[in-house]
Amino acid sequence: MPAPITEERSRRDREALLDAAEGLFYARGIRAVGMAEVRAASGLPLNRIYRFFTAKEDLVVAVLRRRDQRWRGSLADRVERVRDPRLRVLAVFDWLAEWCAEPGFRGCAWINAHGELGASSEAIRAEVRSHKQAFHDQIAQWVRATGLPVTEPVFLLAEGAIVTAGISGDPAPARHARAAVATLLGTE
């Protein structure tokens, strides 16, 4: 008889599952990856996976939700180190340029998920909207501290830089967007 599964092991298994699914979904696309591949990459049996998530869609939502927390947390860690409000906003684009230059960068995971499943999954659409609103609110907070009414252009430049870098495979759009934001902020 196998040993009972502890809460700690359950947490580790869930994290291993999310790590495996996120890596596969981001690298190859959600529809292209079957649950058998997720099982193989995570090392967990399918029955254990389905105890965590009863459907692939639930797994995708959990992956996106966890990625949002880590992604926006990493961005905030970088940006919040900068004291000057205008330079803080520019630090968003410095962070984006570094992220877009990372090996394996495939653009925005939420845009990718929306492109694949947004038309057929309200849960995916809701998670993508939640992330985009949270990212917008994060940028709005930093922009408000400058006293300038440029939240929407800054947000759109950030989003456009991510999408364009994902398509082109080149982090230059983040640097170009930074230059445009510097003009908006009067820091050129």
The domain locations on the chain are 1-54, 58-185
Is the pTM higher than 0.85? yes
Start-end of H helices in the chain = 7-28, 35-42, 46-52, 56-79, 85-100, 109-117, 122-144, 151-168, 172-185
In this structure, what is the dihedral angle of CA atoms 159, 160, 166, 170, given to the nearest 10 degrees? -120
CA distance 153 to 149: 9
Tell me if 143 sits within 8 A of 150, measured CB to CB. Answer: yes
What confidence tens digit (pLDDT) does each residue in 126-181 have? 999 999 999 999 999 999 999 999 999 999 999 999 999 999 999 999 999 999 99
Tell me if 46 sits within 8 A of 35, measured CB to CB. Answer: yes
Third-level CATH fold of 1-54: Arc Repressor Mutant, subunit A (1.10.10)
pLDDT at 153: 98
- pLDDT band at residue 4, thresholds of 50, 70 and 90? low
Residue labelled with tokens 């947000």: 155
Which phi and psi angles does 132 have, rounded to 5°? -65, -40
Structure tokens at 131: 């992330």
Structure tokens at 97: 């340029």
- Is the pLDDT assigned to residue 113 strictly greater than 70? yes
Residue labelled with tokens 């959990």: 62
Tell me if 55 sits within 8 A of 147, measured CB to CB. Answer: no
- Angle, vertex CA 22, rays to CA 103 and CA 35, nearest 5: 130
Third-level CATH fold of 58-185: Tetracycline Repressor; domain 2 (1.10.357)
pLDDT at 1: 54
What confidence tens digit (pLDDT) does each residue in 13-64 have? 999 999 999 999 999 999 999 999 999 999 999 999 999 999 999 999 999 9
